[in-house]
Structure 1
Amino acid sequence: MIIDTTFARELAADLLEINAVILRPNKPFIWACGWNSPIYCDNRLTLRQPHIRSKIAAKFSEFIIQEFSEIDVVTGTATAGIPHAAWIADKVNKPMAYVRAKPKSYGMGNQIEGGVAKGEKTVVIEDLVSTGGSAISVINALQFVGANVQALISIFNYGFDKSTKNFSMVKVPVFNLTDYTILVDVAVEKGFVTSNDLEHLANWRNNPETWPN
């Protein structure tokens, strides 16, 4: 679910302008999972843009204060969600934690760093949602220790059916600052792609595992 449609379009334009998102329907990227993709997203590039990262933190924080004011801790996903979670936690004056993909193999063997106690309410901050697998592993780790995960909030969501099904299984709502549908619309409007590319881009989102066949 998009938090604020006007903001979503503004942020989509920002991501395109700084090449945090690149659309290349006629020269696909290859993802680590082996999929051909007309889009590559690297939201870590927002970290070097103070005006963009600050507006991201401000919108996240505004939404959390409005909808989840009773949370006890802000949790980031390792690694890309960590800086955003830290800025947000500072703005909403809450403790911050982050969750690794798996427990450390040394020291205390922690998977959750910073600490989230049983019964504490938290929201999870993620920079990018594709299939939802990495975010769900974070949610599972939090739920395992008894935390109450109120929501996952992301910067960008591809909107795959698979991720929708995955999040419904863990019963955690997902909110996004912007998403693929809005970004493609803005990309056409701003001239990053043409209207002739729309069919290719829509087909990929609907069938990412087999596209472009």
Structure 2
Amino acid sequence: MDLAKSIAGNLLDKEAVRVSIDPPFTWASGIKSPVYCDNRKMISFPVERALVIEGFKKVINEKGLEFDVIGGTATAAIPWAAFLAHELNMPMIYIRPEPKGHGAGKQIEGYLEPGQKVLIVEDLISTGGSSVKAAEAVRQEGECTVTDILAIVTWEIPKAISAFAEAGLNTYFLTDYTNIIGLASERGYIPVDQLNVVLKFKENPAEWGNAMGY
């Protein structure tokens, strides 16, 4: 089994990814979704956790990614950035969604030198907004370069693909919506007659719920 399917299988096995069409899940943004993903659950399973880190290393080597610091987005990606930084013996930072409202008002925690190149680690890429904000924070507050984002999962949403292109960011991931849903269907988690309904979600998440009558 290839890496994308192995990771997808682990996410389903540990119920980090769950599928429910009726009723669907509701994201914090209000979007109705047939799938919910919580990669934080995977930090509790050493074997599956190690496969993610090995996958990250494989992508880094195969794509020739070069960087000085690893940056995790708060809070879900912080453990993954820490695991990877430890494995590679490299510096790490983390990036808050917004600057602190007290103290020094920093959005970035850790040590950065101007001009360094930061690889941002994400657990999940959905609409891409939080990832782009993290990259911009590193560029502006840290005066550093960001060109690459490495994630466990991408939902393959067109809006995210466009947002990354506009921000000058390359994205790399271990598995994606298509692999996860395909494997979930093979395992019988999704009725055959509902597979296309679930796959259509990634095309236009904001309208999927309305189209389904939710």
Give the alignment's TM-score, normalised by structure 2. Answer: 0.92
Does the alignment pair 1:160 with 2:157?
Answer: yes
Mapped to 2, the partners of 1:114 and 1:67 lie a distance apart of 26
Q: Which has the higher contact order (CA 8 A, sep 6+)?
A: 1
Mapped to 2, the partners of 1:90 and 1:150 lie a distance apart of 22
Does the alignment pair 1:101 with 2:97?
Answer: yes
- Is the 8 Å Cα contact of residues 123 and 153 (structure 2) preserved in structure 1? yes
Structure 1: gaps spanning 5 or more residues: none
- Is the 8 Å Cα contact of residues 74 and 97 (structure 2) preserved in structure 1? yes
Does the alignment pair 1:19 with 2:15?
Answer: yes
- Correspondent of 1:6 among 2, 8, 15: 2
- Is the 8 Å Cα contact of residues 181 and 199 (structure 2) preserved in structure 1? no
| Structure 1 stretches of 4+ moved >4 Å | none
**Relative to structure 1, is the Cα distance of residues 65 and 93 closer, same or farther in structure 2, using a 3 angstrom cutoff?**
farther
Residue of structure 2 equivalent to 1:204: 201
- Is the 8 Å Cα contact of residues 158 and 179 (structure 1) preserved in structure 2? yes
- Correspondent of 1:186 among 168, 175, 183: 183
- Correspondent of 2:122 among 118, 122, 126: 126
1:112-160: CA deviations, max 9, x gaps? 1112222111110000111111111100001113211131011111111
**How far is 1:9 from its partner?**
0.5
Mapped to 1, the partners of 2:65 and 2:172 lie a distance apart of 15
Mapped to 1, the partners of 2:62 and 2:8 lie a distance apart of 23
- Is the 8 Å Cα contact of residues 136 and 167 (structure 1) preserved in structure 2? yes
Residue of structure 2 equivalent to 1:36: 32
Aligned residues: 209
**Relative to structure 1, is the Cα distance of residues 70 and 206 closer, same or farther in structure 2, using a 3 angstrom cutoff?**
closer
Residue of structure 2 equivalent to 1:143: 139
- Is the 8 Å Cα contact of residues 42 and 48 (structure 2) preserved in structure 1? yes
**Relative to structure 1, is the Cα distance of residues 69 and 179 closer, same or farther in structure 2, using a 3 angstrom cutoff?**
closer
- Is the 8 Å Cα contact of residues 130 and 163 (structure 1) preserved in structure 2? yes
Mapped to 1, the partners of 2:136 and 2:88 lie a distance apart of 24
**How far is 1:111 from its partner?**
1.0
Deviates more, 1:186-195 or 1:16-25: 186-195
Report the secondary structure of 1:123's partner residue.
strand
Structure 2: gaps spanning 5 or more residues: none
User: Which residue identity does 1:169 align to in structure 2?
Assistant: E
User: Which residue identity does 2:193 align to in structure 1?
Assistant: N
Report the secondary structure of 1:97's partner residue.
strand
Residue of structure 2 equivalent to 1:57: 53
User: Which residue identity does 1:190 align to in structure 2?
Assistant: R
User: Which residue identity does 2:133 align to in structure 1?
Assistant: S
Mapped to 2, the partners of 1:136 and 1:150 lie a distance apart of 11
**Relative to structure 1, is the Cα distance of residues 65 and 203 closer, same or farther in structure 2, using a 3 angstrom cutoff?**
closer
- Is the 8 Å Cα contact of residues 65 and 92 (structure 1) preserved in structure 2? no
**How far is 1:172 from its partner?**
0.7
